[in-house]
Amino acid sequence: MAGKKFRLPISIFVVLIACFFTACEGNEFEEQNYSGQALGTSYHIKIFTGKEDLQVEEGLDSIFKVINQSMSTYWDDSDISLINRGVDSIKIDNHFKTVFKASCKIYKETNGYFDPTVGNLVNAYGFGPDKRLDALDDKTIDSLLQYVGFDKLTLSSKGEIIKKNPKIYLDFNAIAKGYTIDVIASFFEGKGVYNYLIELGGELVSKGEHITKQKPFVVAIDDPLQEDGARTYQATLKLKNRAMATSGNYRKFRVDSITGERFVHTINPLTGKPERSNLLSASVLAESCMLADGYATAFMALGLEKAKKLSSKLDNIDVYFIYAENDSTKVYTSEGFQEVLISQ
């Protein structure tokens, strides 16, 4: 009987191969979760990897420190704080340059509605690190507007920020958080991690999928009308290999005493005054979280109709707008966003 061969049925062979790869996958990937406080907010990270000793905590601490040192207006000795105080010899790092160039792009596309130099106005209205002014009459607003305008800044060949007026106040808070998530994503991919979900202050980026469930990561959009202390969702969606950022006047809306219509006030960087808007929330899907973050802020400043018009012209940008109409809320979604929605 020597030399007799045994053949497995093809169906059994396929099952054995499948089991082999499933077993390997189970051994290769394990779920790891990280959370903490950074950049004035919280973060939650989920990764799937079989690698050990990734030194994630050390890596995250290093990223947050570098970003804060570069662009935090809450750090007195950060590069941006020194620039805001009139120091013109600061050579900015690559993080600052990347965010500066992206801000310039969005500033031009929105005709000035997205403007990181609006900081003096933001502080004057009581947001940001500086003390609020007692009153904002037209004269005060006009005096502040001379310091507003991203086109009043240039990046020199030496890597220095040149300001037309030394009192111009630069603030990247509307885009730097999203950029930080992109840096964290690059950190993980540099470690060979390609299945992750990163959330920082409500902004998100995902790569790959939830290995245990073998499905895309599922994320949610908050209901802008939720009560204080409650957490309710407007919609859920599948997020795969994209970033999402949401900007909104959550729980800051008012109700017209006559019509019952909900509205919010957003500072118009062109006039320096708060404008009434019925756009309560803008969620954006993009290839990078920096762009998603920047456009979400820009759309809130533009208002519903202008935001709809601009978003339809942008490549690789999908939107989900929640807006008030009469005494109820309605939703506008782009076709691409509609495709990933699970419920709304």
Closest CA to 255 of 235, 271, 278, 233: 278
- How many whole angstroms from its chain centre is CA 169? 22
How many other C-beta atoms can be found within 10 angstroms of the C-beta atom of residue 43? 21
Nearest to 172 by CA among 111, 119, 248, 113: 119
Token representation of residue 339: 């495709």
Query: Which of helix, strand or coil describes residue 67?
Result: helix
DSSP 292-343: HHHHHHHHHHH-HHHHHHHHTTSTT-EEEEEEEETTEEEEEE-HHHHHHEEE
Computed over its alpha carbons, how large is the radius of gyration of the chain?
24
Residue of 306, 330, 301 whose CA lies nearest to 118 = 301
DSSP code of residue 101: H
Q: Determine whether the annotation assigns residue 297 to a binding site.
A: yes
176 is in an annotated binding site: no
**What token pair was written down for 80?**
């941006």
Q: Is 293 annotated among the ligand-binding residues?
A: yes
Residues comprising the binding site? Answer: 174, 293, 297
Residues comprising the binding site for Mg(2+)? Answer: 174, 293, 297
